[in-house]
Chains A and B, each alone.
Chain A
């Protein structure tokens, strides 16, 4: 067999793999988009604010409501013992604009 045929077979295999990949992605994308829509609707009705990245600590579960200024802070990467705390940024929650400008 000439190597070119071998190459052709390899290219064909890649093409098939790619096609399978695209089909698979298309399927999951459809499922995922349906999920995104559904999640948004549930969040809107219930008034939820955060996804569930990890549930080991409350400041990871509701990241958007983590404290930044209390002593013994409840923030990621504070003095804590949870592995995920070392993984999320300590500057996760910047001060809101009107506080940064000084005084409310």
Chain B
């Protein structure tokens, strides 16, 4: 035990003494781990985010298609859908997008019927300002956290949008959602269905699409088939399909970024090999003196293992901690340009920590293992060399 402690002592001392030699490698090590861990943490959090929201999404969404494009759907179809076995409710939804040219912002306008409005009004949701408008109130809106800022409202409560016929419609902001729900509500403008219908100039008998809930998951595929036979021009999107879509998106993206990271990893390995395969004269002399002082082959190997473990352990922890701070503390700020593209309005992410051990373990193996291997290799090489050669610092 005491021997081990003394060895540990010596290893720590030798790292501290030669910090200038270890620092560059440790820095590269930290960067490599940081990049990969940042990508993996961001992706697993985003996956979790999407899965969480999709879990509450309607089981089936029915869209009317005409000429390969989505068009408004007749509200009557909802009545027919309700008669399908297993269908619990079929709710016509009215929603759409609005491009606000002065600010260059895309908004999502969402119509809310009276029952839903009542639920939102009486429910316990967090708002940054105000709250949900009272059921029955007209021309009142509730907006996402980022909307006032994107439209540059500067505290004004009234805002005006131009409808499809060039007429100005003015709305009063009743409430602003808090940043807690930003990933879901950032760009939303919620208003009474009647007002949105008027704003979009949509007939009473039409809706954007129909959200269908099916209680029993086993009945979803059959319900989808029955609905598409009831309405042959409809497209039925199931929730599992949406879930698969999101999985595919995030895996694709993660794979692409990690592919780029492989280049990083290879250069790190080359750096390691370069450093490990050629021992500096100083290191050789040190090992020579240690051997001359009576250190055995095992002692030297053990010393090198300790050194390697300390440096790689500290670098891995450092890189991983930095990635956590980057992703959870700073909302993955380095990835923002790619994640949000040209969006003028983007959510505050507030990512939830999700640890998937598989990929992190892979990073650990891909970085720590080569490091240990190279430091062991160099130690083994010098430990088997002749003492005289070592002290003279000749190549061997």
Interface set of A (CB-CB < 8 Å, partner B): 2-4, 6-7, 10, 14, 17-18, 21, 24-25, 28-29, 31-36, 38-58, 60-67, 69-71, 76, 82-85, 87-89, 91-94, 96-98, 104
Nearest chain A CB to B355 CB, angstrom units:
10
A56 CA / B329 CA spacing, docked (Å): 25
Contact at B57–A43, with CB atoms within 8 Å? yes
Report if A61-B246 is in contact (Cβ < 8 Å); known contacts: A36-B52, A54-B339.
Answer: no
Contact at B69–A70, with CB atoms within 8 Å? yes
> In the complex, what residue of chain A is closest to B67 when comparing beta carbons?
A70
Report if A94-B211 is in contact (Cβ < 8 Å); known contacts: A35-B352, A40-B53, A49-B54.
Answer: no
Show 18 A/B contacts (Cβ-Cβ < 8 Å), sorted by A.
Answer: A3-B10, A32-B352, A36-B49, A47-B93, A47-B116, A48-B110, A51-B183, A51-B184, A52-B182, A53-B46, A54-B343, A54-B346, A55-B107, A69-B68, A84-B342, A84-B343, A92-B252, A94-B248
Contact at A87–B341, with CB atoms within 8 Å? yes
Contact at B190–A46, with CB atoms within 8 Å? yes
Contact at B341–A83, with CB atoms within 8 Å? yes
Q: Which one of B73-81, B236-244, B297-305 is at the A interface?
A: B236-244
From residue 39 to 96 of chain B, which have CB atoms closer than 8 A to chain A? 46, 48-50, 52-58, 61, 63, 68-70, 91, 93
| Residues in chain A near residue B91, CB distance under 8 A | 47
Nearest chain A CB to B260 CB, angstrom units:
12
**In-complex Cβ contact of A40 among B55, B126, B232, B346 (8 A):** B55
Report if A51-B68 is in contact (Cβ < 8 Å); known contacts: A46-B112, A91-B252.
Answer: no
> Which of A25, A51, A69 has the largest number of chain B CB atoms within 10 A?
A51
| Residues in chain B near residue A40, CB distance under 8 A | 52-53, 55-56
Report if A96-B53 is in contact (Cβ < 8 Å); known contacts: A84-B339, A104-B229.
Answer: no
Contact with A along B226-239 (1 / 0, CB 8 A): 00110010001110
A58 CA / B69 CA spacing, docked (Å): 14
